[in-house]
Amino acid sequence: MKVWIVSTKNFKGKTCIHGITEEGKNVRLLDENGMYPLPDRHSYVPGEIYEMLLRDPVDGGDPFWENKCVVSQKWSGYECNLRQFLLNRVKIERGGLDTLFGGCLRRSEAVNTPYIPHGEGRRYKSMLYWMVDIPLYKKENPDKKEFYPGLTSYVYKEPWGEDVWFLDAPSYTSGTSGFSAPLRSFPKGPYCI
């Protein structure tokens, strides 16, 4: 099947690679053994297109049902305008943080992190595209792109414009990454388009 690479992010010594199939399904790409690839073991770039043979992980991908193991792949080309491609093919979520993932984000007071409670998240996708209703960069320093506290561990910035962002669901049990400020502290504003 054809897969477009939409996002890559290195974290905690591994790489999270996200794609979208020609049927419009989100996939989180794992190696053949069902593990997240190491940063030096992959060369995926957002916008690349691959022909891939994918299979479900042995554990079924729980809790992330979009997880797929790459059995084989062949580079097929490059999508020159990934942003427009996504706007034409995927549902873009709009609104504030409280509406994302079906409104089931919860916040742990203990670690000040958003998460989707185990069980609730199964009703919703664990990946989405978001048309932000506020700028996610701080404006105090125009020379440096600086996120609001904690956003870098939750939001994936890719080269398709500052108004469309890719989000990967936070842990189904409260984890150690996420927003370092309460969700309610982010102001709401007009949509970017």
pLDDT in tens, the chain (193 residues): 999 998 887 777 888 888 899 988 888 899 999 888 877 777 888 889 999 999 998 876 555 678 899 999 999 999 988 877 887 888 777 766 667 777 776 665 555 555 666 555 455 566 777 766 555 555 555 555 544 443 433 444 444 444 455 555 443 333 333 333 333 333 333 222 2
Half-sphere exposure of 52 (CA within 13 A, CB side): 26
Looking at the structure, do residues 74 and 19 belong to the same domain, yes or no? Answer: yes
Residue 29: Cβ-neighbour burial (10 angstroms; 0-12, 13-18, 19+): buried
- Whether 122 is in a domain gets the answer yes
Looking at the structure, do residues 96 and 77 belong to the same domain, yes or no? Answer: no
Work out the end-to-end distance of the chain between its first and last CA atoms, rounded to an integer number of angstroms: 33
Looking at the structure, do residues 100 and 181 belong to the same domain, yes or no? Answer: yes
Domain of 97 in residue numbering reads as 91-185
Q: What is the pLDDT of residue 97?
A: 65
Looking at the structure, do residues 127 and 75 belong to the same domain, yes or no? Answer: no
- Domains in the chain, number: 2
Looking at the structure, do residues 68 and 102 belong to the same domain, yes or no? Answer: no
What is the C-alpha to C-alpha distance for residues 102 and 116, in angstroms, rounded to an integer?
A: 10
Q: Which of 81, 109, 124 is the last residue of a domain?
A: 81
Q: Which of 54, 81, 108 is the last residue of a domain?
A: 81
Q: Which of 81, 103, 138 is the last residue of a domain?
A: 81
Q: What is the pLDDT of residue 88?
A: 83
Looking at the structure, do residues 99 and 70 belong to the same domain, yes or no? Answer: no
Q: Which distant-in-sequence residues (6+ apart) come within 8 Å of 51 by Cβ?
A: 1, 2, 3, 73, 74, 76
